[in-house]
Structure 1
Amino acid sequence: MGLPKASRLKSSQDFRQVYESGTKHDSAHLILRALLDSPQNQPTKIGISISQKVSKKAVVRNRIKRQLRAILREILPKMSPGWKIVIIVRSSAAECQFEHFLRELKELLLKAKIVHGN
């Protein structure tokens, strides 16, 4: 099960806008780019970018995306509204486990002040 439709970042124009104007926070396996969109009543929109440099096998890339979406579904209700977020997976993430992704993603969201508290 993916993210809710209202919480998906889909268009290439939105991705480009976040890449160009958003703030960057990084960790060992993930890079988070975040842009505060002006209307606060809009839901937070999230996109995941994973290159073939991570793994040539689609099975590995899809497993990583599934793990990240599961973590994001859990954290989504705690996020502030109005953000556009792109999560970029680094090539070192192929051997990373679910717990590492969970810890790193929570730390990145706290750094970006998208999630407050625990």
Structure 2
Amino acid sequence: MALPKQHRLRHHKEFAAVYRYGDRCASTHLSMRGLKPGFINASVNSPTRLGISISQKVSKRAVVRNRLKRQISAALYQLLPRLSQGWWLVISVRANAVECEYGQFLRELEDMLEKLEVIR
């Protein structure tokens, strides 16, 4: 299930701001950068916005990359009600994520969100 439009990062400038100023956190299959509320354009009362970045280094096949993106998006959709307001987050997929399952993505995302203190 896709994330609602209000919860998506859509523009290159938003991704660039998160990559430049955001805090880092990593796990075995994923890495995450998060931009705190109130920094640059992210206001404290706006909804948390998310982006997923997956390179062709992960897989040359678009089918595989899209499947991974859908699994991560579904896991984020499940965690969305627990997230604090105003964060901008970018999740990058690592090359070894091809053999990862949905449950593993959910656990890793939850751990990383706790490390960045995004989950309430």
Output the TM-score relative to the length of structure 1.
0.96
- Correspondence for 1:93: 97
Q: 1:59 aligns with which of 42, 63, 68?
A: 63
- Correspondence for 2:80: 76
Whether 1:102 and 2:119 are equivalent positions in the alignment is no
Secondary structure of 1:2's aligned partner? coil
Q: Distance in 2 between matches of 1:56 and 1:100?
A: 22
Whether 1:40 and 2:40 are equivalent positions in the alignment is no
Which sections of structure 2, spanning at least 5 residues, go unmatched?
A: none
Report the number of matched residues. Answer: 116
Q: Distance in 2 between matches of 1:108 and 1:75?
A: 12
Aligned-residue identity in percent: 50
Q: What is the CA-CA distance between 1:37 and the residue it aligns to?
A: 2.8
- Correspondence for 1:22: 22
Output the TM-score relative to the length of structure 2.
0.94
| Alignment RMSD (CA, Å) | 0.7
Structure 1: 4+ residue segments shifted above 3 A: none
Q: Distance in 2 between matches of 1:72 and 1:95?
A: 19
Which sections of structure 1, spanning at least 5 residues, go unmatched?
A: none
Q: What is the CA-CA distance between 1:82 and the residue it aligns to?
A: 0.4
Q: Distance in 1 between matches of 2:2 and 2:119?
A: 20
Secondary structure of 1:82's aligned partner? coil
